[in-house]
Structure 1
Amino acid sequence: MKKVFLLLILLYGGFLSAQNEVVTPPEKVRFTFEKEYPNKVAVWSIDYVGDDNDEIRYQAKFNTDKNTKALAVYDNLGILKAYELQIPLSQLPQKAQTYLKKNYAPKAIKEIAVIVNDKNKTTYEVGIEKDSRFYDVVFDQNGGFDVIIEKN
């Protein structure tokens, strides 16, 4: 019985330590981030993308200032793939603001971000909570509605 209990403790401890794993990106990725965002401290995570989840993306979450959060996404060669910046509602294109006011209560809006990808395409994502579910409402660079994505 002691052995079973000890095994359970070890498994549980291993599970907990895996949850708090510190990600250290490759030198190229860190160098690029530090060059683009000097004096910013990032919390790094890894995401797997691609058809077979065979491509690694390193995500750097950091604060641009006291109240604004950002996310920079790099491939393993240190090439910036996307940049996401938290913005206030007033910085959304007017067309997107009108759509949101017509379709959602103000308190449903949880976060707003502008995203620029590696092809210099700009989109806007608005995090919405409705019926205890979370959605990203995506707008094009002019504020035109694009798609709603349910988040888990």
Structure 2
Amino acid sequence: MRNLLLIVLFLSKGFVFAQEGINMKKVITPPEKVRFAFEKEYPGKTAVWSEEYVGDDDDEVRYEAKFNKDKNTKAVAIYDNSGVLKAFELQIPLNKLPINAQTYLKKNYSPKAIKEIAVVVDDKNKITYEVGVTKDSKFYDVVFDKDGDFSVSIEKN
């Protein structure tokens, strides 16, 4: 009986570690410049921070602050190492997407396939819309331009 309990405990720990590995983003504390920029832009908000390496050789660091903009809306602010805001992503409802994007989604995906919708503004004020969908047991980001015209579909792991 004791061996059975040890095996169950060991397997459950392994499952937890496997689930954490799926996320791949480690929760971190960003540099002071980055925290200061976030706190200045979003006073009183609490963020969960992660870092990601980007660039041709994964030589640039980006810090992601995930937080609740209000009680029903999630947001992500992405900063570079100097605390410069590189992108802002805000969760939106389907009816806030441009009509062209709504039409494309209705034509190509079932309503149940749509998992998340966001408007993204980059550091050059370029607006895009990203819609997370599932199809054939795979997850995709379907990207639309500011007018709602289809841009690209990217498979996510």
Instruction: State the TM-score, normalized to the length of structure 1.
Output: 0.86
Cα displacement string for residues 2-42 of structure 1 (whole angstroms, at most 9, x for unaligned residues): xxxxxxx9xx9xxx6x9795411111100000000000000
Of the three residues 53, 56, 72, the one matched with 1:67 is 72
Q: CA deviation at 1:44?
A: 0.2
Q: For 1:92 and 1:52, how far apart are their aligned partners in 2? A: 34
The residue that corresponds to 1:50 in the other structure is 55
Listed as ranges, the gaps of 5+ residues in structure 1 are 1-8
Q: Which amino acid aligns with 1:61?
A: K
Deviating above 6 A after TM superposition, structure 1's stretches of 4 or more consecutive aligned residues are none
Q: Which amino acid aligns with 1:33?
A: F
Of the three residues 107, 113, 118, the one matched with 1:108 is 113
The residue that corresponds to 1:4 in the other structure is none
Are the counterparts in 1 of residues 26 and 51 from structure 2 also a CA contact under 8 Å? no
Q: For 1:117 and 1:21, how far apart are their aligned partners in 2? A: 23
The residue that corresponds to 2:140 in the other structure is 135
Q: CA deviation at 1:91?
A: 0.3
RMSD: 2.0
- State the aligned residue count: 139
Q: Which amino acid aligns with 2:154?
A: I
Closer, same or farther: CA 102–34 of 1 in aligned 2, 3 Å: same
The residue that corresponds to 1:150 in the other structure is 155
Q: For 2:49 and 2:81, how far apart are their aligned partners in 1? A: 13
Whether 2:44 is the aligned partner of 1:39: answer: yes
Q: CA deviation at 1:67?
A: 1.3
Q: Which amino acid aligns with 1:134?
A: F
The residue that corresponds to 1:26 in the other structure is 31
Of the three residues 98, 101, 104, the one matched with 1:93 is 98
Q: For 1:120 and 1:54, how far apart are their aligned partners in 2? A: 24
Cα displacement string for residues 80-124 of structure 1 (whole angstroms, at most 9, x for unaligned residues): 000000000000000100010111111100000000001110000
Q: For 1:21 and 1:72, how far apart are their aligned partners in 2? A: 16
Listed as ranges, the gaps of 5+ residues in structure 2 are 1-9
